[in-house]
Amino acid sequence: MTGLAVVQSSMLGVVGNGPTTIPMAAAGSLALAVFRNSRNANNNDNNANLHAPKRRRNDNKPSRSSSSDSDSDDLMIKLYRKWMTLPQIFRFGVAGNLGNLGFFYLEKVIFRLLSHFLATTSVLSSALMDGIEKFQDGMSFFSAYVILIVLNHLLYAFLVYGMDTIGTWEKYSKTLMGQFKVYGFGLFGATFLNSFLIKSGGLGKTAAFIATTATFAVFNYFLVSWVVEKAVASSAKDPVVKDVRRDQAKVSRRR
């Protein structure tokens, strides 16, 4: 006999037995409701298990694409660490030449934009246009040189001194301002030398460009290295930086 039949027979047996008829009937109804609810809950669980998607055996296994991406990332990290073990002056030369390459083409683009502006505009006076045309080489060189400072600042951090030298806004701003000061001398000195070599030296734009950048490359290395070391040392003395490093050391010791 099932549980439902037992409950039903008990209810029928107690009905009509004097004053206990109503309480016993209520208790039997409650027991019947509880039994039905538990049976329905079991049926719902069984249906959920039947319709639940089966777990694949290889769900926990990494996919081939993720493993290949991880391997490529590890290779890039190893290559970068190997690169950073090379002599610093060599890395500075590579970074500087990459910046000079971008500077070379950027100067040509600005020069052509100025030429196009002079050929198409009719707003400026003839005297102003003559002045722009006269100093066009210097203006294009000066403008490209300013942009070069920002680009070289990032290249030097990534390829020469390490990204930690610009890891905070304080370090980034100090090293950038320091390099602007260093290149400030080179900005005017290189612009003057480049124009002199073209106008008076008889060199072409490419030859004058190479001679100018080579002349200031050595000075820039020592000055920029001094600026970066000074900025990092100044940031290390900052009390906020000290507190952060002390907290990091505590966390590492707890681990």
| Average pLDDT across the chain, whole number | 74
CA atoms within 13 A on the CB side of 215: 16
pLDDT in tens, 54-111: 555 555 555 666 666 677 778 888 999 999 999 998 999 899 889 888 988 999 999 9
Q: Which residue has the higher pLDDT, 102 or 7?
A: 102
pLDDT in tens, 120-143: 887 778 888 888 888 888 889 889
CA atoms within 13 A on the CB side of 120: 6
Query: Domain map of the chain by residue range?
Result: 3-51, 85-249
Grade residue 19 by pLDDT with cuts at 50, 70 and 90: very low
CA–CA gap between residue 22 and residue 45 (Å, rounded): 35
Residue 138 in contact with residue 205, Cβ under 8 Å?
no
Instruction: Say what the pTM is.
Output: 0.56
**Long-range pairs of 220-223 with CB within 8 A, sequence gap ≥ 24:** 220/96, 220/182, 220/183, 220/186, 221/89, 221/92, 221/93, 221/96, 223/182
Residue 159 has pLDDT above 70, yes or no: yes
CA–CA gap between residue 69 and residue 67 (Å, rounded): 5
CA–CA gap between residue 163 and residue 76 (Å, rounded): 15
